[in-house]
Amino acid sequence: LLAGVVTTPAVAYLTKTGPFSAGLMISASHNPYHDNGLKVFAHDGLKLPDAEELHMERRIFQLLESISGLPAEESMTGEDQLADSYLDFLASAAPNGLAGLTVVLDCANGAAFRLAPALFRRLGARVVETACEPDGRNINEGCGALHVESLRERVLAEGADFGAAFDGDADRCILISRSGKVLDGDHILLLAGRDMRPRAVVATVMSNLGLERALAVEGIGLIRTAVGDRYVLEEMLKQKLPLGGEQSGHVIFREWSTAGDGILTALRAASIARACGATLDELTRGFHVYPQRLVNVRFREKKPLDQLAPVQQEIRETEREFGDAGRVLVRFSGTEPLARIMVEGPDPERVEFRARRIAAAIEAALS
């Protein structure tokens, strides 16, 4: 059954609630159009485990080598019905509506370009659309969750209550407050955590130390996982926690969804603000963002990091300098020949210095 142009979280929701064995999304996610790939969901609405996904990928390539073409098969289209079902579900996440609000939506010229504006208008908001004209090639091009500069300008120019930027398949959301403050996934986890009061929030190793400190003030713990929303959800299910996400804007409200859902995230943030009678600026006060520097080092030969003495020495010196006011994370990319370095600390100049020292040590050891 073809669902038409819908978002990745829509496919997850429809697969779980409908009579479907699996759901398949063709998407470039937050990347350029030529990086299209597949996201596969089981009937429970969860992404397939890594091992099953790898097995499926290998099997597809084997089939491609053994056949010259695929037979044409008829497929049914339930585009309008499926989209309406998903929008009805999303509307339930904003029971008090959005009447009186002005909202700027950046849909990244992607899958949310029809769904998000229609839903926000249905809930009573005045909607200003931007990057809602996909042509098949302009997805994520200078717009969306990775490029929020123009959205910020539009929010300020319109005097809007807030802006929301989705990525191409709308499983991410970055918000812009009325004052022009950029609110990433960490900010959203804080405002939602303050409202929901869970015993802990699940985030990844990339989430800012400021989130951990701000949640601690509220008596809420932070559990960190490897990078990837699937690992966040696995830990949420294991710990029976209702809220988790990534700094990049994947936020999972487990009561409503098994996947990061950008439109749902924007609705929940707006609903929380409306219920509290507060602005997004007010709801994220007390979040001190620690300077964070990310550096990528391309390598020729991969060696275990714990066997690189000069690298370990630089990491130890950084940890010694920053103490509990900083963090160091060094890992290999899972998809590219890159070592990824993240250094976080109280002073941006020292963070930059330490990140460069670690990068130079890795480059010397692996180049």
One-letter-per-residue 3-state SS of 301-315:
CCCCHHHCHHHHHHH
Q: What are the angstrom distances between the C-alpha of 280 and each of 180, 182, 277, 337?
A: 10, 10, 10, 39
Q: Are 286 and 191 in contact, with CB atoms under 8 Å apart? A: no
Q: Which amino acid is at 354?
A: R
Q: Which class for 92: exposed (0-12), middle (13-18), buried (19 or more C-beta within 10 A)? A: exposed
Written as one string, the DSSP assignment of 29-41 is TTS-GGG-EEEEE
Tokens of residue 320, six digits: 């010694």
> One digit per residue, pLDDT tens: the chain, 367 residues?
888 899 999 999 999 999 999 999 998 888 888 888 889 999 999 988 888 888 888 888 888 887 766 565 555 566 678 999 999 999 999 999 999 999 999 999 999 999 999 999 999 999 999 999 999 999 999 999 999 999 999 999 999 999 999 999 999 999 999 999 999 999 999 999 999 999 999 999 999 999 999 999 999 999 999 988 999 999 999 999 999 999 999 999 999 999 999 999 999 999 999 999 999 999 999 999 999 999 999 998 899 999 999 999 999 999 999 999 999 999 998 778 899 999 999 999 999 999 999 999 999 999 7
CATH 3.30.310.50 domain span(s) along the chain: 292-366
Active site residue 207: no
Q: Which class for 130: exposed (0-12), middle (13-18), buried (19 or more C-beta within 10 A)? A: buried
Q: Which stretches of the chain are DSSP H helices?
A: 8-17, 50-66, 79-91, 115-122, 149-158, 185-196, 209-217, 229-239, 262-276, 280-283, 309-322, 348-366
Q: What are the angstrom distances between the C-alpha of 32 and each of 70, 129, 228, 329?
A: 27, 21, 19, 27
Q: Which amino acid is at 3?
A: A
Q: Which amino acid is at 154?
A: R
The span from the CA of 311 to the CA of 114, in Å, is 49
Q: Which of 27, 29, 248, 257 is catalytic?
A: 29
The span from the CA of 99 to the CA of 318, in Å, is 50
Domain spanning 81-283 has what CATH number?
3.40.120.10
CB atoms inside a 10 Å sphere around CB 189: 28
Tokens of residue 181, six digits: 């403050």
CATH 3.40.120.10 domain span(s) along the chain: 8-80, 81-283
CATH of 8-80, one of 3.40.120.10, 3.40.190.10, 3.30.70.1380, 3.40.50.1980: 3.40.120.10
Which residues does 171 contact at the CB level (< 8 Å), separation at least 6? 7, 8, 9, 29, 229, 250, 259, 260, 261, 262
Beta strands across the sheet bearing 243-245: 221-225, 200-204, 243-245, 251-253
The span from the CA of 266 to the CA of 188, in Å, is 9
Q: Which residue has the tokens 């020495």?
A: 313
Answer yes or no: pTM beyond 0.85: yes
CATH C-level class of 292-366 = alpha beta
